[in-house]
Amino acid sequence: MLRGVVFDMDGVLIDSHPLHRVAWKHFLLTLGRHVSDGDLDFILDGRRRDEILCYFLGNLTHAQISEYGAKKDEMLRQFGEGIQPFHGVVEFLDCLRRSGIRIAMATSASRQRAFGTLEELGVAPYFEVIVTGDEVTSSKPDPAIYRLAAARLNESPENLLAVEDSVSGVKSARSAGMWCAGVAPADRADKLRAAGADPVISDFRLLSLEEMKARFRLSQAPKESLARGLSRTSHV
């Protein structure tokens, strides 16, 4: 039975990846580090801020990570003023709450940025549990963050759906024992499916709660029943 949905934040609740690219590029330039657009793909795969900093700048002290992270977040706030939630996500959150399905978030973002973003968007009251990258020692694709979210919800992972936009995020959720839906444009959808996401949507307006529940029931059925059921269920 589907009892809860655990959302990632960047690329799922908010379409923030373009802004992250701009903010990271400008921040690194202030330190004399020139990076290409291809180099910046690293930031899109569920990485924690400290991992990104060390990837581009080498070994750093905790004080440097804190200082640089604050500067980068300030740039993101400047570039991301007035950031909006993904199309249809607020309506989907409303639908989940009306249906009695519990709502949580598991994000690699820092606690300060995660809570600040939810407050800015006006969606913080929807979330019963929020787990951030500050609270786990290993980032996605390690399952730790999703296991912690399930523990705080006091729910079995098999009764939870994760919603992710990155390959590492999908692998993290699946390794934790959750079913996972993906959010991605057409050019990245196949990568998420290969990692274990089903369905993969480009827009929350395309996601039906009733079909999601049906898919969830089928995902817990024996394989032969699953095959028969999916042949009758339209793809999202």
CA distance 140 to 175: 10
What does the alpha-carbon distance between residue 13 and residue 220 come to, in Å, rounded to a whole number? 26
Q: By the 8 A CB rule, do 4 and 103 touch?
A: yes
Residue 29 CA to residue 95 CA, distance in Å, equals: 43
- Strands (DSSP E) contained in the chain are 4-7, 102-106, 129-131, 160-164, 179-183, 200-201
C-alpha 83/C-alpha 98 separation (Å) is: 26
- Quick check: is 73 catalytic? no
Catalytic residue among 8, 10, 73, 165: 8
10 Å CB burial of residue 186 (0-12, 13-18, 19+) is exposed
3-state secondary structure of 10: strand
Residues designated as active site: 8
